[in-house]
A = this chain, B = another copy of it.
Amino acid sequence: MAVKLGENNYGKSRVRLLRVLRQEGRHDIKELTVGIRFEGDFEAAHTRGENKKILPPDTIKNTVYALARQYPVEAVEDFALHLIEHFLTYNEQVSRVRIETLENPWSRIAHGAKPHAFAFTRASGPEKRTAMLDGTREGIAIRAGIQDLDVLKTTKSSFGGFLRDPYTTLKEDRDRILSTTIRAEWLYESDEIEFSPVWHGVRQTLLETFAEHDSNSLQHTLYAMGEAVLASFDRIREIHLLLPDKHFNLVDLSPFGMDNSAEVFLPTDEPQGLVEATLRKE
């Protein structure tokens, strides 16, 4: 039997970082978790235990901190571009660098109407801003994204006209609650993007489309959301959406002589429907 080493990579994950920018009268902070993976010429490490082409994961971590010191981290995508350039320049044994970042957003504590100069609290819900950059010596693919953005609407959602088989017991529902946790990732056409304003714009487009769309199904809503983003941002080439269907079941109160006209619901996490799709500009 001959064994062949196939696709392989190594790196460092969960590299955590708080970057503080200190200006007179105003501090800014950015909290990130960074993961880095290398592809390249690592066969001897696997087959012969020979490490001379292995840059230690500990060094990869050190590099994140050293570069964070040199560059103010404004948009995470810009910081990730510096990391990719560094690793590809100084490591000829590496053919591909993948950087994944996850940002824990902070916002300023308000004192009355005035934002505080150096005190912060978590912003805007459990959602996270993500980025994934894939860099080779030929080019770089930049994907930005959002995770854990919970949304819910109490009307303008139905599910009917579906296929039925002998195991189908579901009733058509002309006016149901629709709720999901948005996970989206989109691909930029270039690296000359105003990453942070565009990210906030995509987030707002996703929220507004979810709210306004007259939904026949979660697929229908997903497509509308993706189409709206592609129509509104000309530098975005494709978008991938993964939407769980978070069910809210109407509680049956008839045993107690009560009606329940869409007022009392049971939120459930299991089981969970799921829709996933990629939309592209032709």
Contact A162 B4 (CB under 8 A): no
Question: Does residue A31 face the partner (Cβ distance < 8 Å to B)?
Answer: yes
Give the docked Cα–Cα distance between A279 and B5 (Å): 5
Question: Does residue A140 face the partner (Cβ distance < 8 Å to B)?
Answer: no
Given the known interface contacts A12-B274, A66-B253, A266-B16, the answer about A154 and B5 at a Cβ–Cβ threshold of 8 Å is no
Q: How many residues of A contact B (CB 8 A)?
A: 136
Contact B154 A22 (CB under 8 A): yes
Our pick among B3, B120, B231 for the contact of A230 (Cβ within 8 Å) is B3
Contact A216 B49 (CB under 8 A): yes
- Cβ of A109 to closest chain B Cβ, rounded Å: 5
Name A255's closest neighbour in chain B (CB-CB). Answer: B169
Contact B271 A61 (CB under 8 A): yes
From DSSP, what is the main secondary structure of chain A's interface residues? Answer: mixed
Give the docked Cα–Cα distance between A222 and B45 (Å): 10
A111: chain B residues within 8 A (beta carbon): 208, 211-212
Question: Does residue A113 face the partner (Cβ distance < 8 Å to B)?
Answer: no
Contact B121 A271 (CB under 8 A): no
Contact A69 B10 (CB under 8 A): no
A124: chain B residues within 8 A (beta carbon): 123-125
A212: chain B residues within 8 A (beta carbon): 111, 119
Question: Does residue A276 face the partner (Cβ distance < 8 Å to B)?
Answer: yes
The 8 A CB mask of A207-224 against B (1 = contact, 0 = none) is: 110111001111110110
Given the known interface contacts A46-B222, A122-B127, A263-B20, the answer about A1 and B152 at a Cβ–Cβ threshold of 8 Å is no
The 8 A CB mask of A10-40 against B (1 = contact, 0 = none) is: 1111111111111000010101000101000
Given the known interface contacts A162-B52, A272-B12, A274-B10, the answer about A152 and B219 at a Cβ–Cβ threshold of 8 Å is no
Give the docked Cα–Cα distance between A50 and B269 (Å): 26
Give the docked Cα–Cα distance between A152 and B118 (Å): 8
Contact B260 A56 (CB under 8 A): no
